[in-house]
Structure 1
Amino acid sequence: MSKRYNFDYPIIYMKKVLLIVCCCLVQYSSISQSKLTGKIIDTLTKQPIAGASIFLSHTSIGTVSDERGEFLIQHIPQGKFEIIVSSLNYQPYITTIQPAQESAILSIQMSPSSNILKEVIVESYDKDGWTKWGDYFKANFIGTSSIAANCTLINHHAVRFKFINKANTVRAFAHEKLIFENRALGYNIKYLLSKFEFDISAKTFKFLGYPLFEKMVPKNSAEQKKWESARLSTYKGSLMHFMRSLFSNQLTEEGFEVRVMKKVTDEEKNRVRELYKRMEKTSKSNGGNSKEKGELNLNKDSLEYFVKVMKLSSDDDKVILDKLIPRDNLIFPVDSSVEPNAVFFEFSDYLHITYLHKKEPYEYTKFLLKKPDKDYISSDITLPFQKGVPIYKNGNYSYGENIFVYGYWAWSEKLSTILPIDYKPDENNYQ
């Protein structure tokens, strides 16, 4: 999940940029832990694969297979998660582990990558892709915050780009894990990139991948405290923070406000104007005692919406209602046999989410080409496929492709600012 104020980028207007956050399936219980064991073999030769990397996506939990292709990961928190297996010259193996499988021995077969296919694919890439598209990739994948300035892609040569002229889209691929050094937060990150796509015309982007975090060793206690402070600051107001607060019914206590946001088309603006004309005409014909409100069945909320639409300029296309949305209108029970220890997050239209404990950072206001007027950070979120998502206590969620975010989160939720899902803020310093 990079520097974005290079205004050569066709992504200047943040309100038009959206991000698909594709998360892994990880949920934790702090009470019960177990181990994960298994063996990795070559699909064709049936020989063991040594040195393969095995890890739980979005965590700091992982290991490598021994000379017999066997592995053991201790202290696996109970729950459901994605396990990623990767090895040079083999196609990545990705599977979801159910709670009942945690004590079982996994038998993993990996298929060799086709060198011939690789050569064909590489040949079709832009040979000077990094020169052409490297800034796009860094801006949209690493970010443009002050944190991103200290997050470095070590092996950028591994990234290959292809421009799809007909679709006006840039795609990025990598045949090996990308290695990042995030000195701002104190993490080394190995990232298995599955998809990166930037639509230049629509100014939208999406990516999917599987990171493994490793904590850096600090030079001294001062550096450790600096990292802890930066992690906490990054966590506050993040998508992870919001999801955890939503799950635990702590939105108000944690500083989040949730409102309905509606996109308004020109056709809708015209419809509202016509209704207002009818209301004014009826009001005048009844000596100022209008019955039009009743005839139009406008309740208090509807009237608020109509008034806000009438005030929109020709360039504005969204209305944010004043009423706060209670958590019970967003969260619903889940069949525990399907998604244990989860709740279902579902809503219509858009949600406008404000975080009252953080103001817009300077880099963000610069990106928006607006004055740093110190507004609270805010983001919009929608479910484009009209399907809700299960969310878990640790802030993670399933079916991440069904969540689009706009605004601050579209700018901030990048690789440089993501935290491992097992991150826990220091409650003594957290407000």
Structure 2
Amino acid sequence: MMNYLRLLLISCVFLGTLSAAHAQGKITGVVTDSITHEPLAFASVFLANTTLGATTTEQGKFEFPKVPAGTYDIVGSYVGYGLAKKNITVTREAQQVDLQLAPTGNQLGEVVVKPEPNKPEEYKEFTNLFLGGTTFSEKCHISNPESVRVMYDDSTKELTARAKEFVQIDNDALGYRLKYYGLQFSYNREDGSIFYYGQPVFEEMTPRDEKQRKLWAANRMMAYKGSFMHFLRSVYANRVQAEGFMTQQIIISQNPKFERADKQRQALTAQHPDGKFTTAEQDSIETWESIAPVIASLNQNPLPIDSIRRASPTGKRVYLRFTGELQVAHFGEAPDPQYKRPMSPLGYPKTPIPPGPRQVSRLKLQGKEAAIQANGTLLNPLDVFNGEYWGFEKIGEFLPIDYTPGAAGLAPARQ
């Protein structure tokens, strides 16, 4: 069976939605201390997973004059305080959102215990898993490693990481500085599962010259094309085929060889309660254990759009809907050179397909369907698991939800 990656890093913060009509709304508010109710000057306020951020005035006030209509997490942060977060829906009507931050500083006289430094091998394992192994990920680095606490629990076989305030990642491939607030990271060495959670905000980096500005723009487009965000936007807009995607049904069935192999393994094991096997017997056991209980095959016929997409009668709500598992291929975009796994181990349809390179991923729904936002995000991130190529892409390809292909969103080059 395919191991699916639950990417809460990339998913749980995907809450914004862009209006088809590009409607915008205004947000104002005040950040205060939850106990004294005094305003907090120069606090950071941002819309999670976007490039939209603000700093409060001396009176604790903030303003977002033009926010695309949709649903967002608005987050407040201040040194010595816990994060404050509210889920808001932006419309054309202006609204006020006040945030109260709870102090977390030490009480007077309390002894402060400085944590032990991270073990180099554990920190390296964390960064490899968190940043990823793509070509773009290699150009990402954490600029405040002292803020990250990495720990390993030998009893649970779990590697965890936390940050006191935020983890700052500079992506020199895409030109983004990512501040990842409230990081919660865990990796289980036994089953290989990875869990990410937090509230990130993107900042545009300033290119050193025009050449770098163009490179960043090209790399962002490369990261976008064929991505999960690109696919969901294509489903929402009913442009799956036009955008170069093809979906096929994966058929999961019982492996007829598994039951017989399992009986043979159990019988041989029962003959040797001491666990001492000959070399030939050990080879047989390893062969039997390598036989999977189920096998996957591919329906050769590409799925029509109405087999994976459901829209409400008004067309305002769109859902990703399918049974079982899907294989999703995107044509025209080559996979990253660092991706060493076979591309589409289940094969391709016998019908003619576009020539050239392709990226192949795999999807599984948690329930019957998943609501899609217009900007290519999920209303409930836990509704979908992805694997193969989409499971391989991580921080190096991480784009803000307000990214628009071809938009002139890059900061000007330094003169």
TM-score, scaled to structure 1: 0.76
1:167 equivalent to 2:156? Answer yes
Q: Is the 8 A contact 2:24 2:92 kept in 1?
A: no
Alignment of 1:307-326 (within 5 A): 314=291, 317-326=295-304
1:155 equivalent to 2:144? Answer yes
Instruction: Give 1:18's aligned amino acid.
Output: L
Q: Is the 8 A contact 2:332 2:357 kept in 1?
A: no
Q: Is the 8 A contact 1:240 1:395 kept in 2?
A: yes
Runs of 5+ consecutive residues of structure 1 not aligned to the other structure: 1-13, 272-312
1:211 equivalent to 2:200? Answer yes
Distance 1:361 1:173 in 2: 29
Distance 1:106 1:335, change over 3 A: farther
Q: How many residues align?
A: 361
Alignment of 1:282-361 (within 5 A): 314=291, 317-334=295-312, 341-361=316-336
1:49 equivalent to 2:40? Answer yes
Alignment of 1:94-109 (within 5 A): 94-99=85-90, 103-109=94-100
Post-superposition shift, 1:376?
A: 2.8
Post-superposition shift, 1:332?
A: 2.0
The residue that corresponds to 2:380 in the other structure is 399
Post-superposition shift, 1:334?
A: 4.7
Distance 2:253 2:187 in 1: 25
Distance 1:224 1:70, change over 3 A: same
Distance 1:366 1:392, change over 3 A: closer
Distance 2:257 2:307 in 1: 26
1:186 equivalent to 2:209? Answer no
Post-superposition shift, 1:380?
A: 0.9
Instruction: Give 1:381's aligned amino acid.
Output: L
Q: Is the 8 A contact 1:39 1:106 kept in 2?
A: yes
1:241 equivalent to 2:230? Answer yes
* Partner residue of 2:221 out of 232, 238, 250: 232
Distance 1:387 1:89 in 2: 43
Post-superposition shift, 1:31?
A: 3.1
**1:147-171 CA deviation, whole Å, 9 max, x = no partner?**
1111111001111123233332111
The residue that corresponds to 1:23 in the other structure is 13
Q: Is the 8 A contact 1:260 1:325 kept in 2?
A: yes
Instruction: Give 1:152's aligned amino acid.
Output: H
Q: Is the 8 A contact 1:190 1:212 kept in 2?
A: yes
SS of the residue 1:225 aligns to: helix
Post-superposition shift, 1:49?
A: 1.0
Alignment of 1:382-393 (within 5 A): 382-384=364-366, 386-393=367-374
Distance 1:375 1:17 in 2: 24
**1:30-65 CA deviation, whole Å, 9 max, x = no partner?**
532121100111111111111211111111111011
Instruction: Give 1:233's aligned amino acid.
Output: M
Q: Is the 8 A contact 1:23 1:399 kept in 2?
A: no
Instruction: Give 1:421's aligned amino acid.
Output: I
* Partner residue of 1:416 out of 369, 391, 396: 396
Instruction: Give 1:416's aligned amino acid.
Output: G
Q: Is the 8 A contact 1:82 1:95 kept in 2?
A: yes
Post-superposition shift, 1:342?
A: 3.4
* Partner residue of 1:198 out of 187, 193, 197: 187
The residue that corresponds to 2:102 in the other structure is 111
The residue that corresponds to 2:273 in the other structure is none
Query: Hey, which of these two has a bigger chunk of helix by percent?
Result: 1
**1:349-397 CA deviation, whole Å, 9 max, x = no partner?**
11111111123332111799x9xxx97321111123x253211221111
The residue that corresponds to 2:242 in the other structure is 253
Superposed CA RMSD: 3.0
SS of the residue 1:251 aligns to: coil
Q: Is the 8 A contact 1:48 1:68 kept in 2?
A: yes
